[in-house]
Amino acid sequence: MGRPTGPYRTPAPVGTTAEPGLIPDLIARIPWPRWALITVAAAASVLIVSCLLCVLCCCCRRHRRKKPRDKVAVGLGSARSSTTTHLVQPEVGNVESNSGGPQQWGRLQLSLQYDSGSQQIRVGLKQAVDLRARSPGDTADPYACVSLSTQPGHRYETKAHRGTLNPVFDETCCFRVPPAELPQTTLQVWLLDSRCFSQHEPLGELSLPLGTIDLRHVLELWHQLGPPGTTEAEQTGELCFSLQYVPGSGRLTVVVLEARGLSPGLAEPYVKVQLTLNQRKWKRRKTSARKSTTAPYFNQAFTFLVPFSQIQSVDLVLAVWARGPRLRTEPVGKVVLGTRASGQPLQHWADMLAHARRPVTQWHRLRPPREVDQALALQPRLRLPLPGS
């Protein structure tokens, strides 16, 4: 009797001999359909082929990267023998040492014209370029201050230009100089960085002897700026105050904050605030005195009623008074603001009008009292009509 055939075993066809094998036996024992086995086998083949291709690609990339490195190394080696020293970039220390020339302070364009008939010299401040900022990548608010060596009390300030190292001034000022004084006169120009709450920082200066220049023709030249000196530091002090104007009610508020840099020989300093209308004295107030200090702190506010129709005809004068060595109270320095002002005071006045109802605070350098009085050319006090007259 022969063995019965099972359901998973098929008899060999007639005329052939069945040789048992390991793989056919394993496949026969798996209880999966034939199509499932074929799918698994195909997926495994694809995965194996993909892994082999990835390994081959990585090997090829590494081989390709090594070749250019060898070529670059050879190129650099051959270039070292033929490179000259002037093509080598200088070190940082050499750059800093070589940059100490006058070019790091920038350049200033000036125009000069002398009128022998009126004995006046016209100084045109055109523009400045490549000014040096306080730190790399920073900007400044530069303005220029012009003076003559024979007239230290007479100065002219330009308008400050916000956020630039290449300001375009395009302003002109005049100084009266007799022909006999021209050879001994030196034109001095300072460029400063305007700061609202700190001391103005010098950016550079120019000293130009007029005796070495032919003033018979109109000159327009570029000049290199030099490092800031100590000439500009000799001043009468500074005053800090804020301005606020409300057009609707016509309220002009002046807050006198503090002063600094006053002479140590002065005693009991105080500030006078005066308004002039059409070059006539109009209204005035004054702060209380401070004792034994060169940097008095006031923080006192004064309010004036100025209609909007008269704001363009008003000049605001702030004067620091103190008792000097002669035990007599005298003016130390003054600041004039208004439409007739120039430089920083004019900029402060314009900012007040442009930002109505908002206080604008700024430091100002005090000017000699005689210079301010001559510029104002005040007439006798304005007499207002009395009630019932």
Instruction: Report which of residues 47 and 90 the model is more confident about.
Output: 47
Instruction: Report which of residues 126 and 342 the model is more confident about.
Output: 126
Q: Please list the alpha-helical segments (H only) found in 10-33.
A: 22-29
Looking at residue 33, its pLDDT comes to 78
Please give the distance of CA 364 from its chain centroid, rounded to a whole number: 19
Looking at residue 388, its pLDDT comes to 53
pLDDT at 275 over 90: yes
Phi, psi dihedral angles at 326 (to 5 degrees): -80, 10
Q: Confidence band (pLDDT; 50, 70, 90) for 57?
A: confident
Mean pLDDT of the chain: 78
Looking at residue 160, its pLDDT comes to 87
Task: Quick: pLDDT tens for 218-249.
Answer: 889 899 998 886 444 445 788 999 999 999 99
3-state secondary structure of 386: coil
Looking at residue 55, its pLDDT comes to 84
Please state the rounded mean pLDDT for residues 315-341: 87
pTM: 0.50
pLDDT at 370 over 50: yes
Q: List the one residue out of 242, 264, 379, 381 whose CA is nearest residue 332.
A: 264
Q: Contact at 8 Å (CB) between 253 and 247?
A: no
Instruction: Report which of residues 74 and 362 the model is more confident about.
Output: 362
Q: Kindly write down the DSSP assignment for every residue of 309-346, as one continuous string.
A: GGGGGEEEEEEEEEE-TTS-EEEEEEEEEETT--SHHH
Instruction: Report which of residues 249 and 88 the model is more confident about.
Output: 249
Q: List the one residue out of 106, 117, 187, 202 whose CA is nearest residue 146.
A: 187
Q: Which residues of 260-270 are buried (b: 16+ CB within 10 A; e: fewer)?
A: ebbeeebbebb
Q: What are the distances in angstroms from CA 92 to CA 87, 99, 227?
A: 15, 11, 22
Q: Contact at 8 Å (CB) between 340 and 315?
A: yes
Quick one: three-class SS letters along 64-97? HHHHHHHHHHHHHHHHHCCCCHHHCCCCHHHHHH
**In this prediction, what percent of the chain has a pLDDT beyond 90?**
31
pLDDT at 319 over 90: yes
Please state the rounded mean pLDDT for residues 370-383: 70
- Mean pLDDT check: name the lowest of 28-42, 273-287, 302-316: 28-42
